[in-house]
Chains A and B, each alone.
Chain A
Amino acid sequence: MEATREIYWNIGHGVVIPMYILAAAAFGVIAWGFWQRLPIWRQGKALDRFDHYDERVKRMLAEVFSQAKIYRVTSGGVFHSIFFWSFLTLFAGTMLVMFQADFFTPLLKINLLSGEFYKAFSLVLDLAGILALIMLAGLFIRRFVVQPEGLEIVKDDYIVLQLLFAILMTGFLTEGVRMAATELQQNPALARFSPGGLLAGQLFAGMTPGTQLVTHKIFWWLHFVLVLGFFCAIPYTKLRHILTTSVNAFLAPLEPKGSLATINLEDESVEQFGAATIGDLSWKDIFDADACTSCKRCQDRCPAAVTDKPLSPMKIVKQIGELAEGNPAGSLVETVSQDALWSCTTCRACQDICPANIEHVNKIIEMRRNLTLMEGAFPGDEVRTAVNNIEVNGNPFGLAYAARGDWADGLQISVMEQDSNVDILYFVGCYASFDKRNQAIAKNFISICNAAGVKVGILGKEEKCCGEPVRKMGNEYLYQMTAAENIELIKAYDVKKIVTTCPHCFNTLARDYKDLGLDVPVEHYSTYINTLLNTDRLTLTPEPFKYTYHDSCYLGRYMDIIEQPRAILSNAGGSITEMDKSGYDSFCCSAGGGRIMAEEKLGSKISEVRIKMATDTGAPLLVSNCPFCLTMFEDGIKTGGAEGVLQVRDLAEIVAERIAV
């Protein structure tokens, strides 16, 4: 007997037209539902996210079908991904059935669903259904039984889970009755390829043929109506993420990570800077709220949220959505709260983990811009002082600008003002220039360069703060003022390459200064030293040591420099024990986003939490690559009671000690 089945068995081909009409109506509901959202999204400012169409489509398809961003977090993610693939398989199978019944059979007179292919088709679909049910059960248990902290339960969760469960169950029941009435009797060998149906069929085996036919019709229609319900529910429940989250993979920015809109300060027609109300955000910022699935991965990783500060990136995204829908003229800052906005370290952990490509950080910075540029607000007086200091002396400490280059006295180094014929310009940054602990790193970097025969120049007292902390605090004006002075200087010296020891300077010079007209290659010292080692310009005498390594946010997550520093340390003889959170999952030191200038008054101390992670590795040494991190960790070791247990040192110190002579 041929392995196939009769499509529309017991239903009849007459159902085709009403079925298509109903399906079209369901798609109409989806379209109508999203059409109604359009005016809400369009309250935002214009932003072109439809350029580089091919690239965007490719990224979207890759992200959606691979589910890579989803299963990156095992809890919930694996269930979701497997469910997605299973459900997709079922959907594809149903489509194939549809094409067979309404296209291939009537027009081409061929039957794809027969023979060995049908057996495989049948088995795959049944297994997919079973898998989907198991995953659904897992998701159900996770949400309603395990209830991970912070995971909200809303009405949508009940609707969606029950709906999906009912669709899958009615599918198997329909199949079961059909098989009880047909395959089980006529072709039991084929029935083995439908394990789900086989199982469900047992329920109906004892029924009279008449009852079976009626029962089958009921289940068939029930399944069909539920599927229609599923489609109709998409725009009105969390199911919307099927479209919005996928589309967000298309809409996500193509610019380098961390790019911020450079405000045109010459445009005198602009009267509002930053985001005060919904209309000051972009349409994409509002759309993001619809793409959010409340998975709270961002909140779990946010260093501010973890240390009990009043910031949840997820909550901010939702608050934006609520304002856009209910009160577009309402104040963003009041809704979100100043404390929440100032708590952000711009560490990008939220954005990096977000499976929906939501851009949390720039929203926060836009709101900070409103606070700073429109209201002259600061998170605290200490920040006001630091900002004033940067204005007057070009450093947050308020130390005399003329002393900026003093640390280099007596070192083999040229000050550009006197001799600008150098291999690299070392942009020192404020901490390495003025802070005693960090001056050691600057000096070590110089001895590394000296050993490699690299001629280094510094700007000395001409250098100013790169402007990063004030920019992240929202003060675009001061950022552009200081940046312009640095850029003008650097351009005048005809610099070939810039190297920084600070990831914040590095990001700013390498990426942000481009917008302001600086086009010189910029490197962080970790990649620079790695190249010196790989090209044998620098050789180390390895000395064994055990360590753990902190990926600073602005080197790792922002600039994807994760392996190089580890390679250097391994070259130096180190053996690493990774912390609980490392690489892209690294946990901020607390000093990003301009927080280096601020006191941490709310919640517990982020640096202490990170120090705890470091001591948990058992390694006696924590290696960092950023002056802000180093400063925070020196502090966190003292206040967190890790003195004598853990020591924090900079990459440059480890390398400099092992230079081969």
Chain B
Amino acid sequence: MKLLVCIKQVPDLESRFKPDAAGVWYNETDLAFRMNEYDEYAVEQAVRLREQLGEGCELTVLSIGPDRVVEAIKKSLAMGCDNAAHIQDAAAYSKDPWQIASIISAYAKERNFDIIFTGMQSQDRGSAQVGVIVAELLGIACTTTIVNFDYDNGTITAKRELEGGIKGVVKLKTPALVTCQLGLNVPRYPTLPNIMKAKKKEITAISVAELLKEESLAATTSFHPPAKKGGGIVLEGDIADQVEKVIAILKDKTAVLR
């Protein structure tokens, strides 16, 4: 069995975002980076499957981006991936989901992975497209937003999270791709021996130019903070004062305190 998990390194969302010089993406200064949360669930699920299948199973982690993404790759290796592919691309942020997916599929095509795991979306761009496009380009089965995963003898049984707490149960035959939703599992905290072992695991660096043959289909023309809604009242200062004001507003504008 060959497994692949695709991860992205994203800024921590508590960070303050400022547009970059071109105004089309964020300026990386002062941002703290981490593994995309959805991808942590994907890595955990892939590692669990890797453990379930035991010897003869190989789990590769892939990430596209500048040198900093090696940190996220190392974390995946420490969590239990066997080896890694780092698609080096200092301008990954400027690629649209179509290009990112085509890079991954170009990498995966010859390597015949049985199961590919991705996050359901990235926390920064949030397009929720890449996983599905990869599956379509590779011509393999795919389902999205899974909150439960089982594998047995060539068949994946997964539960998809639908709106309102309902779940849909689906079965897929491998080769297949699944995109992972939050809450799928509890991602493990890497143990120290595994962190040490991960230092020796192979990270293959591949230049993005070798894999990217597609033009972008959509361009980001602006990255900006949302326009402030007019009319919203902002109360600052002393707590007692704030309480008085809120109560006055509630009496004035709503019927709840009458």
Contact = CB atoms under 8 A, between A and B. Distances in A.
| Contact present between A and B (CB < 8 A) | yes
Interface of A: 265, 268, 271, 273, 372-378, 384, 387-388, 391-394, 398-403, 461, 476-477
A398 B14 CA distance: 7
B193 interface: yes
Contacts of B154: none
B191 interface: yes
B192 A374 contact: yes
B16 A403 contact: yes
A401 B32 contact: yes
B251 interface: no
B28 to A, nearest CB: 11
A394 B15 CA distance: 12
B12 interface: yes
Nearest to A401: B32
B23 interface: no
Nearest to A397: B14
B139 interface: no
A374 B32 contact: no
Contacts of A265: 192, 196
A90 to B, nearest CB: 55
B34 interface: yes
A476 B192 CA distance: 9
Interface in B184-204: 188-193, 195-196
Given A392-B34, A393-B32, A461-B30, A402 B191 contact: no
A460 to B, nearest CB: 11
State the main secondary structure of chain A at its contact with B.
Answer: helix
Nearest to A272: B193
Contacts of A372: 189
Contacts of B30: 400-402, 461
A400 B12 contact: yes
A264 to B, nearest CB: 12
Interface residues of B, number: 17
Nearest to B15: A400
A477 B195 contact: yes
B189 A400 contact: no
Contacts of A400: 12, 14-16, 30, 32
Q: Which of A375, A378, A402 has the largest count of B CB atoms less than 10 A from its CB?
A: A402
A374 B34 contact: no
Interface of B: 12, 14-16, 30-34, 188-193, 195-196
B12 A376 contact: no
Contacts of A394: 32
A271 B193 contact: yes
Nearest to A266: B196
Given A392-B34, A393-B12, A376 B190 contact: yes
A376 B193 contact: no
Nearest to B188: A376
Contact of A399 (B14, B33, B189, B195): B14
Contact of B192 (A373, A393, A402): A373
28 contacts: A265-B192, A265-B196, A271-B193, A273-B192, A372-B189, A373-B191, A373-B192, A373-B193, A374-B193, A376-B188, A376-B189, A387-B189, A388-B34, A392-B12, A392-B33, A394-B32, A399-B14, A400-B30, A400-B32, A401-B30, A402-B15, A402-B16, A402-B30, A402-B31, A402-B32, A403-B16, A477-B192, A477-B195
A376 B15 contact: no
A384 B40 CA distance: 14
Contact of B196 (A268, A376, A378, A401): A268
Contacts of B31: 402
Nearest to B30: A402
Contacts of B189: 372, 376-378, 384, 387
Contacts of B32: 392-394, 400-402
Contacts of B192: 265, 273, 373-374, 476-477
Give me the 8 closest cross-chain CB pairs, A-B, nearest first.
A376-B189, A402-B30, A373-B192, A392-B34, A400-B15, A393-B32, A400-B14, A392-B32
Given A388-B34, A391-B34, A392-B12, 4 more contacts: A384-B189, A394-B32, A402-B16, A477-B192
Contacts of B191: 373-376
A378 B186 CA distance: 12
B78 to A, nearest CB: 10
Contacts of B195: 477
A461 B14 CA distance: 14
B191 to A, nearest CB: 5
Nearest to A373: B192
Contacts of A476: 192
A403 B192 CA distance: 30
Contacts of A373: 191-193
Contacts of A378: 189
Nearest to B193: A271
Nearest to B194: A376
Contacts of B15: 400, 402
A393 B33 CA distance: 9
Nearest to B29: A402
A402 B29 CA distance: 9
Q: Which of B14, B16, B34, B193 has the largest count of A CB atoms less than 10 A from its CB?
A: B14
Nearest to A384: B189
B193 A393 contact: no
A273 B12 contact: no
